[in-house]
Structure 1
Amino acid sequence: MYKVPVETKIGHVHLKVADLERALTFYRDLLGFEVTQWYGMSAVFLSAGGYHHHIGLNTWYSKGAAPAPVRSAGLFHTAILYPMRKDLAEIFKRLLDANYTLTGASDHGVSEALYLNDPDGNGVELYWDKPRDQWPFDEQGNLQMITEPLDLNDLLLELQK
């Protein structure tokens, strides 16, 4: 059986959006990604740290369109991995300050995550991975991920450290 190489990573997500400026207000202005390139007036690429792009946004088939139905096949969410818990706390504070609505916040045992929707209804997960030695394994060594409420007040305490 073929196994993908261990070093393999998922490189970027490319989303259909109804309005590029509205999407940029979310991904660039709120989440802090940087524009690396415009592709005409119908697509834009964004990144963290100068990578060619982590997020592509386009209106090729979706300009002015309504969000995709929730109860249909398609992308559940895009997950954005932050390097440290403090980084997750900082983006949470930005979301609070902007009165941006969360759809959820969970401790998964292996990670802590904030959930929200972008302006086009695309799900977004903002998370950080706990150190591997904190992951929950059973006696046989099987990973036992969970979904428990995330203590958001404790997350904000990261900003005081």
Structure 2
Amino acid sequence: MNTHAEIIIGHVHLTVANLDRSLSFYCGLIGLQKGGQSGDRTTLLPGAHHSIVLDPPHKEAMRETRLRYGGVYRFSFLYPNRKELARVIRRFITVAYEIDGIFDYGPTQALYLRDPDGIPVELYVECTEIMTHKKSAGLSAFDIKSIDLESLLARLK
């Protein structure tokens, strides 16, 4: 499997209910690499610097509130190009993972889904070549529409 050394993400800490299930999602589907483990804490790396840290829930906190969204509204992974985004979309489609939406916003194309703990995740790419074409054709750069999935996945052939 291709890992994504070029994925851009800042440091993120997530509280997850089931570490193995989260590792299958973030490593197996998104393509991150397990960077290390310290006690119950596991670090995932898209590249050499920024990371995602997965923590088990603290028992006291679990009594007070249900684990939902891990305290995060949504976080995003920026992919280097449309081919890499297509590669990860194909993995989700192959395993019939539930996708909330795939949209073309003009300047970006994005896939929305939820991780195993229900945390909303956005996988996206900035489309400078599409923006240049739209501007030269006199079209609005910010029309929201569904992505032509066949065209996107054709980049993998």
TM-score, length of structure 2 as denominator length:
0.77
Letter in 1 for 2:75: T
Q: Does 1:122 align with 2:122?
A: no
Letter in 2 for 1:113: A
- Residue in structure 1 matched with residue 148 of structure 2 by the alignment: 151
Post-superposition offset of 1:63: 6.8
In the alignment of these two chains, the number of paired residues is 141
In the alignment, the residues of structure 2 paired with residue 94 and residue 130 of structure 1 have an alpha-carbon distance, to the nearest angstrom, of 21
Counterpart contact for 2:105–2:142, Cα < 8 Å: yes
Task: Please list, as runs of the form range in 1=range in 2, the aligned pairs for 1:19-30 lying within 5 A after superposition.
Answer: 19-30=18-29
Aligned-partner SS, 1:103: strand
Q: In the alignment, which of 86, 91, 110 is matched to residue 89 of structure 1?
A: 86
Letter in 2 for 1:101: E
Q: Does 1:79 align with 2:76?
A: yes
TM-score, length of structure 1 as denominator length:
0.75
Gaps of 5+ in 1: 1-8, 138-142
- Residue in structure 2 matched with residue 46 of structure 1 by the alignment: 44
Counterpart contact for 2:86–2:155, Cα < 8 Å: yes
In the alignment, the residues of structure 2 paired with residue 15 and residue 116 of structure 1 have an alpha-carbon distance, to the nearest angstrom, of 16
Q: Does 1:110 align with 2:107?
A: yes
Letter in 1 for 2:18: D
In the alignment, the residues of structure 2 paired with residue 104 and residue 94 of structure 1 have an alpha-carbon distance, to the nearest angstrom, of 15
Q: Does 1:134 align with 2:131?
A: yes
Counterpart contact for 1:18–1:63, Cα < 8 Å: no
Post-superposition offset of 1:84: 0.8
Counterpart contact for 1:36–1:52, Cα < 8 Å: no
Post-superposition offset of 1:60: 4.1
Distance change (3 Å), C-alpha of 1:10 and 1:157? closer
Name segments (4+ residues, structure 1) moved above 6 Å: 62-65
Letter in 2 for 1:12: H
In the alignment, the residues of structure 2 paired with residue 67 and residue 106 of structure 1 have an alpha-carbon distance, to the nearest angstrom, of 28
Specify which structure has the higher proportion of helix: 2
In the alignment, the residues of structure 1 paired with residue 43 and residue 62 of structure 2 have an alpha-carbon distance, to the nearest angstrom, of 17
Letter in 2 for 1:47: L
Identity within the alignment, %: 37
- Residue in structure 2 matched with residue 68 of structure 1 by the alignment: 68
Q: Does 1:31 align with 2:30?
A: yes
Counterpart contact for 2:107–2:130, Cα < 8 Å: no
